[in-house]
Amino acid sequence: MEDFPTVDAIRRTLADKAASAVEITKAHLSRIAASDLNSFVTVCEDDALVAARHADSQIARHGQSQLVGVPIAHKDVFCTTGVKTTCASRMLEDFVAPYDATVVTRLADAGAVVVGKTNMDEFAMGSSSENSHFGPVSNPWDTACVPGGSSGGSAAAVAAGLVPAATGTDTGGSIRQPAAFCGISGLKPTYGRVSRHGMVAFASSLDQGGPMARTATDLRLLLRHMEGHDPLDSTSADIGPTGSKPLDSLAIGIPREYWRGLDDRIAAVIDGAGAALEGLGHRRIDVSLPHTAYATPAYYVIASAEASTNLARYDGVRYGHRASAPADLDDLYFRSRSEGFGAEVKRRILVGTYALSVGYYDAYYRKAQRLRRLIRQDFLDVFGDADLILTPATPTTAFRKGAHRADDESGDPTAMYQQDVYTVPASLAGVPAVSIPCGFIDGLPVGMQLVAPHFAEDRLLAVAEAFQRETDWHLRTPGGT
């Protein structure tokens, strides 16, 4: 078997009986064992081999179908029974969930073989996967660089061929930005398409799970077994599955605000991608998303506010880290939270609590919500003329580890937040967006972002697949494992 098989290729290998699920799983487990990227928090070798044997007996009886026998990894934010779910936090270092996330159940029902849980920024807060209690993840294209975040473990593992696909979550860019940094494909579905049940909450009005893989075809294969209405998530949409439509000639909106101040070399690569889309029969049109500049500040107020309430549950009493020998209840709360959370998580809780407090609520939280509404309206207006929007996924390629860290008071945390300028607008609007590889700068991958109207993932994936039929950026593989 080749070193970097796609999900689609593995399905064909299994269908042709050219290799067994056990052989394929073992091959991936040994790549994981040989890797020093720190992309996994937990590897579940024994469970994976049991699942692979079960897959082989299913294939023997019924042939290969769905994802039967395909190895995958879950971001360590998805609850899994029998395997720890840490969110890369000391707070949940030993936490084993009493139930599976809906996404985990659905992918298991489709026959996927889970080989482990991937490393990430603590509680999904960050853009570099350096905010992990288990140490930073390396980018397989240059191990001195970060893989992006927060789903950096999933992105690095897929890019290095440790798994053909993995789950991620995206609140403000955490699937798309690491996909771009690692030269893979990542989809943030429409808010509500994928159930949030069993996904450890960061900012509930924005959190969305999605697939990460090397190709858009694989994203589609995974999404089919992740999406769908779930009565256990009150914001889950009751809407049919993502279809696959033949493509017409589309109008691709180029939002002029995204090009202001954009790095020249990234601009040239994205422009080349736009020209390639024209070569496929689409046309580019100039559009405007006038409130773009407000997206990042609005996002960091809203996401932090929601995080401050969601993370109130970690009190050292019900579950999670508990301080030893507390003097009284206040001391228990105080020390459990002080010891359990890392610096960035504490910063978000403080900012969010401040923004929600009496006297500041109107000035910050309510204002951010009003901006969110305007940003959403920008997208609805543009989608009156454009079928899709093309933007860069990130303002830079992967940066070096340590470049934007802000562990002490001298650091500037907002430098890291600038990474999200191109991804947070779609999150605030709730629309789906994909990042796919479209070039390289100095040996590091560049990602382009395509954004579609609510629930138009079919269009997004069809264009991405057509682009990948004509280009080979997504087939390049890095040296590092």
- x/- mask, ligand GLN, residues 256-295, rule CB under 6 A, reads ----------------------------------------
In angstroms, the CA 308 to CA 320 distance is 16
d(CA 345, CA 197): 22
Give the residue with the Cβ less far from ligand GLN, 179 or 446.
Answer: 179
Smaller CB distance to ligand GLN: residue 202 or 379? 202
Binding flag, residue 431, ligand GLN (CB under 6 A): no
Q: Is 75 a catalytic residue?
A: yes
Residues 292-331 within binding reach of ligand GLN (CB under 6 A): 303
Closer to ligand GLN at the Cβ: 127 or 215? 127
Token couple for 141: 């294209």
Closest by Cα among 55, 46, 61, 50 to 19 = 55
Assess contact for 129 and 36: CB atoms under 8 A.
no
Residue nearest to ligand GLN (CB): 174
Closest approach, Cβ 167 to ligand GLN, in A, equals: 13
427 is catalytic: no
Is position 435 an interface residue for ligand GLN (rule: CB under 6 A)? Answer: no
Cβ neighbours around 248 below 10 Å, total: 11
174 catalytic residue (yes or no): yes
Binding of ligand GLN at residue 159 (CB under 6 A)?
A: no
CA nearest to 299, candidates 246, 231, 375: 375
Give me 48's structure tokens.
Answer: 């994976």
Catalytic annotation, pick one of 127, 128, 138, 150: 150
Residue found by looking up tokens 């691709």 in the block: 252
- The reply to whether 170 sits near ligand GLN by the rule CB under 6 A is yes
Query: Could you tell me the smallest distance in angstroms from the CB atom of residue 88 to ligand GLN?
Result: 12
* Residue 125 three-state SS: coil
Per-residue CA distances from 116 to 74, 120, 260, 263 (Å): 6, 13, 41, 37
Of the candidates 127, 128, 174, 435, the residue annotated as catalytic is 174
Q: How far apart are CA 92 and CA 67, in angstroms?
A: 30
Which residue among 56, 130, 227, 420 contacts ligand GLN (CB under 6 A)? 420
Q: Should residue 128 be labelled a site residue for ligand GLN when binding is judged by CB under 6 A?
A: no
Number of other residues whose CB lies within 10 A of the CB of residue 458: 17
Task: Provide the β-strand partners of residue 286.
Answer: 254
> Which of 172, 192, 320, 437 is close enough to bind ligand GLN by CB under 6 A?
172
Q: How far is the CB of 26 from ligand GLN (least distance, A)?
A: 32
CB of 202: closest distance to ligand GLN in angstroms?
6
Q: Which member of 171, 185, 292, 394 binds ligand GLN (CB under 6 A)?
A: 171
Over the Cα atoms of the chain, what is R_g?
21
Q: Which of 48, 92, 125, 355 binds ligand GLN (CB under 6 A)?
A: 125
Q: Which is nearer to ligand GLN, 125 or 349 (CB)?
A: 125
- Give the C-alpha separation, 87 to 99, whole Å: 16
Contact 115, 73 (CB under 8 A): yes
* Cβ–Cβ < 8 Å for 429, 191: no
Would you tell me which residues interact with ligand GLN (CB under 6 A)? 124-127, 150, 170-174, 202, 303, 420
Report, as residue numbers or ranges, the catalytic residues: 75, 150, 174
